[in-house]
A and B are shown apart, each in its own frame.
Chain A
Amino acid sequence: MPVKTSSQHLVSICDLDRQQIEEILVKAKEFKQNPRQSLLQGAVLGTCFFEPSTRTRLSFESAMKRLGGDVIGFSDNKVTSFQKGESLADTIRVIGGYVDVIVLRHPLEGAAKLAAEVSDVPVINAGDGTNEHPTQTLLDLFSIWESQGTLEGLHIGVMGDLLNGRTVHSLVKACSLFNTRLYFISPPSLQLPADICDELKRNSALFSFHHTLDDVMGQLDILYMTRIQKERMAVHGDSHLPRSGYVLRPELLDGVKETFKILHPLPRVDELDPLIDATPYAYYFRQAQNGIPVRQAVLSGVLGGNS
């Protein structure tokens, strides 16, 4: 089946409005129920990973192959002309001539936006430094929707390094489109940046700040956890604070809602006790698996393989 290229890019979650997000989630649900389809037969995905990644790259490759497409690419910039001094813009222009869609991971912030500006084929951002990682946000939203049956009006707690975490910034911006009530739990110096708070206010989102989980656990439908790196706390002068205050242990789950679920973008270190894995609240491994249907939905969307 010939593939029609729509030349849409996915650089930031902000590229999508509420309706487009909902369409992707519905499409992802269809792919989860029926993963092997030939919608993208004959199409080639180029994975351009200028820094290491295993799960994002493999899930994109798997998603493309389940849709009948092929994959070429690299996962180490040492093997590319980048090492010879070639610019990112030239690399993207050249590779865009070999493939129908590019998935890009790059250590520099704004790299995906620049790539999209020079590329003739769709570019999907798979992480540009600490900036954006929109397909992670989409799979987070899909997991929330799948586990709760809705995105509207949920009470969502977000805990960890809220200052530096790109997954958190994109997620809370997207959640604010669905009238969610947000609770931010972090050490004082790792709170959500002021510009993100301003954006949430512009979207009329309700949110509050907390230093411990105890205040909010009973109210939450979802707890989204991220890692706090020890060195981050040192940099921001909070090294005296116990990181254990931001560790989830089974005893903290007493009194949570029946439908409560825990999400984590993984990998985890010690903030999520492995004893929680066996509880009905753990959803993070299903969340990781949801990367495949969501990326199938995104690939078929940008390549016009929806019909």
Chain B
Amino acid sequence: MSPIAEETYTIAAIQNGSVIDHIPAGQGMRLFRLLQLEKYKVTIGLQYPSEVMGEKDIVKVEGLEISEEESSRIAIFAPSTTVAIIRDGEVVQKFQVPLPETIHNVIICPNPRCISNHEATSRTFSVLQVRKKIMLCCHYCERTYAHHEINEYEV
């Protein structure tokens, strides 16, 4: 048995719910908070070996089928992430998280002169694809940022 297969057995299987896989290592806890999974039975695996990613996080949620729309909230942190829907122990649906058109109350605008950093208001970003790169445009100051330029999040 390969070491990778050995590790996968250490995360409990679920009967009904969702398996969020291929999460970039270090983002698992953030996804847990973003998807507000506190009221569910959740197993979180951090920094598991992955042939493709090197290391990855995995989140398994019992009793919740995450929709594509809900999962889009996490796409900006983890565009490679997949979601598998499990019923009676079988995978019935699997999809890659879709990029949303807008993101609300997740990203803190890096522009210190942006009004959203000074007033109690929603923080909304449009998601744009510019030359195959994902860019985020602040609703208020209208500045555009690449993902790596975002340093602070609300979650």
Count, chain A residues at interface, CB 8 A: 19
Query: Does B121 make an interface contact (CB < 8 A)?
Result: yes
Instruction: From the candidates B114, B120, B135, B144, name the one contacting A110 in the complex (CB within 8 A).
Output: B114
Report if A111-B115 is in contact (Cβ < 8 Å); known contacts: A87-B120, A89-B121.
Answer: yes
Report if A110-B140 is in contact (Cβ < 8 Å); known contacts: A87-B119, A88-B119, A130-B113.
Answer: yes
Query: Does B41 make an interface contact (CB < 8 A)?
Result: no
Instruction: Mark interface residues in A144-185 (1 if CB within 8 Å of B CB, else 0).
Output: 000000000000000000000000000000000000000000
In the complex, the answer to whether A88 meets B115 with C-beta atoms within 8 Å is yes
In the complex, the answer to whether B121 meets A114 with C-beta atoms within 8 Å is yes
Query: Does B142 make an interface contact (CB < 8 A)?
Result: yes
Query: Does A113 make an interface contact (CB < 8 A)?
Result: yes
Q: What residues of A have a CB within 8 angstroms of the CB of B115 in the complex? A: 88, 106, 108-111, 113-114, 128
In the complex, the answer to whether B111 meets A109 with C-beta atoms within 8 Å is yes
Query: Does B130 make an interface contact (CB < 8 A)?
Result: yes
Query: Does A265 make an interface contact (CB < 8 A)?
Result: no
- Alpha-carbon distance A106/B115, docked complex (angstroms): 10
Secondary structure class of chain B's binding surface, majority of residues: loop
Count, chain B residues at interface, CB 8 A: 18
In the complex, the answer to whether A110 meets B141 with C-beta atoms within 8 Å is yes
- Alpha-carbon distance A110/B123, docked complex (angstroms): 12
Q: What residues of A have a CB within 8 angstroms of the CB of B132 in the complex? A: none
In the complex, the answer to whether B118 meets A195 with C-beta atoms within 8 Å is no
- Alpha-carbon distance A106/B138, docked complex (angstroms): 18
Instruction: Mark interface residues in B133-155 (1 if CB within 8 Å of A CB, else 0).
Output: 00100111111100000000000
In the complex, the answer to whether A113 meets B139 with C-beta atoms within 8 Å is yes
Query: Does A15 make an interface contact (CB < 8 A)?
Result: no
Q: What residues of A have a CB within 8 angstroms of the CB of B111 in the complex? A: 109
| Smallest CB gap from A89: residue in B | B119
Report if A109-B119 is in contact (Cβ < 8 Å); known contacts: A130-B113, A195-B130, A198-B130.
Answer: no
Q: What residues of A have a CB within 8 angstroms of the CB of B102 in the complex? A: none
In the complex, the answer to whether A114 meets B119 with C-beta atoms within 8 Å is yes
For residue B106, give the distance in angstroms from its CB to the closest CB of chain A.
17
- Alpha-carbon distance A132/B115, docked complex (angstroms): 13
For residue A193, give the distance in angstroms from its CB to the closest CB of chain B.
9
In the complex, the answer to whether B140 meets A109 with C-beta atoms within 8 Å is yes
In the complex, the answer to whether B119 meets A131 with C-beta atoms within 8 Å is no
In the complex, the answer to whether B142 meets A110 with C-beta atoms within 8 Å is yes
* A-B contacts besides A110-B114, A110-B140, A111-B115, 16 pairs, CB < 8 Å: A12-B142, A87-B119, A87-B120, A88-B115, A89-B120, A108-B118, A109-B142, A110-B115, A110-B138, A110-B142, A113-B139, A114-B115, A114-B119, A114-B121, A130-B113, A195-B144
